[in-house]
Chains A and B, each alone.
Chain A
Amino acid sequence: AQKITQTQPGMFVQEKEAVTLDCTYDTSDQSYGLFWYKQPSSGEMIFLIYQGSYDEQNATEGRYSLNFQKARKSANLVISASQLGDSAMYFCAMREGVISNFGNEKLTFGTGTRLTIIP
């Protein structure tokens, strides 16, 4: 079973509109973290936002917010007031397990959503 599922291969959104990128995850761990990264055409992965499994509030970072629904195992990214520079691939990723001093905090990524902002 896929650990991270992103069901939208591509999305087209009008500039200044809000957009929601879907992400569902699968884990049996109680402790985990969910990340969203942006990958422009240059290739570099840019960290956007993080949600811990025990966080009660939805994470927000500027125009980015994370709609975390734990029971549904979903962690959708919401981008408000989209801009042309938001056009990129967006990846949802999960880190499983309790954080420890020597633990491997490897990320498992979904297949991504290509977002295109239309002027």
Chain B
Amino acid sequence: DTGVSQDPRHKITKRGQNVTFRCDPISEHNRLYWYRQTLGQGPEFLTYFQNEAQLEKSRLLSDRFSAERPKGSFSTLEIQRTEQGDSAMYLCASSFRTSGTVNEQFFGPGTRLTVL
């Protein structure tokens, strides 16, 4: 049973460059979330997909950020014109909607972005 995977695990880039991260959720999971975690903080919600539809975006997600989940499987998060304030851990999580109430989210290992 493979969990949520993310690639790359680490990314160092220069300010102004574009970066793209990939998330592969657990295969049968129809819900996918992106969170951002800065040092000393808990994760903060960025965006949510149900299958291929992006149903909600946080106001934290500026227009430099775009996320896709083209076939309802893997997802990509792109940041254009990176800024030093974008340095953070980007976490992906997936879940499967059931008739129960828990529907816990399973998290990937994250992509740590450093913008120089």
Contact = CB atoms under 8 A, between A and B. Distances in A.
A108 B40 CA distance: 15
A36 to B, nearest CB: 10
B101 A112 contact: no
Nearest to A95: B103
A52 B50 CA distance: 22
B43 interface: yes
Report the interface size class on chain B. 20 to 34
Given A43-B89, A102-B50, A33 B97 contact: no
Interface in A39-88: 42-47, 50, 52
Contact of A45 (B56, B91, B97): B91
A85 B31 CA distance: 30
Interface in A90-115: 91, 93, 99, 101-102, 104-112
Interface of A: 4, 33, 35, 37, 42-47, 50, 52, 91, 93, 99, 101-102, 104-112
Interface of B: 31, 33, 35, 40-45, 48, 50, 55-56, 89, 91, 93, 95, 97, 101-110, 112
